[in-house]
Amino acid sequence: MNLLDVRQAAGLLHLNVKRVQQLAREGRLPATRVGRKWLFPERELVALLGAARSDDAKTAVAPSGGLSARNRLAGRVTALTLDGLMAEVRLAIGDQELVSLITRASAERLGLRVGGPAFAVIKSTDVLVATEE
């Protein structure tokens, strides 16, 4: 069994270290405390991420439980330009095209590819890009 420290778990979950520690203390994340350190079973965290993703797939146009944004638009990636640390993502949503600049790491983590499905999550002046997986 592969155990992660709190920083590794925070990176995997895309959360702040303090938030991961709080969730572990509350028993909302699988964890074991050894002395002053929290250890997290990687397999169980990955399984939790998979469960969250399948829940999102069931509510494709409903707001995600982890976001306060209400505008989540399903579309397809029509173009993806990776340049240095940034990525330009073009999404076709109905007969409209939306362009978003995100980090290259986010584009790679989301597995974005031309022709693949993605969501535009719009909140205030920000447009976020998400996938079901």
Same domain, 97 and 50: no
Q: Would residue 53 count as lying in a domain?
A: yes
Q: Would residue 117 count as lying in a domain?
A: yes
The full DSSP string for 88-122 is EEEEEETTEEEEEEEEHHHHHHHT--TT-EEEEEE
Same domain, 12 and 49: yes
- The pair of structure tokens assigned to 1 is 């069994």
Rounded Cα gap, residues 76 and 97, in angstroms: 10
From first to last of the 133 residues of the chain, give the pLDDT tens digit: 689 999 999 888 888 899 999 999 998 899 999 888 999 998 888 888 775 544 444 443 333 445 555 667 888 999 999 999 999 999 998 888 999 999 999 999 999 999 999 988 877 666 677 787 6
- The pair of structure tokens assigned to 123 is 């909140």
What total of structural domains would you count in the chain? 2
Rounded Cα gap, residues 74 and 35, in angstroms: 46
119 neighbors 72 (Cβ within 8 angstroms): yes
- Report the CATH number at residue 97: 2.40.50.100
Count CB atoms within 10 A of the CB of residue 40: 24
pTM for the full model? 0.46
Same domain, 95 and 53: no
Query: How far is CA 8 from each of CA 4, 72, 75, rounded to the nearest angstrom?
Result: 6, 29, 32
Rounded Cα gap, residues 133 and 129, in angstroms: 12
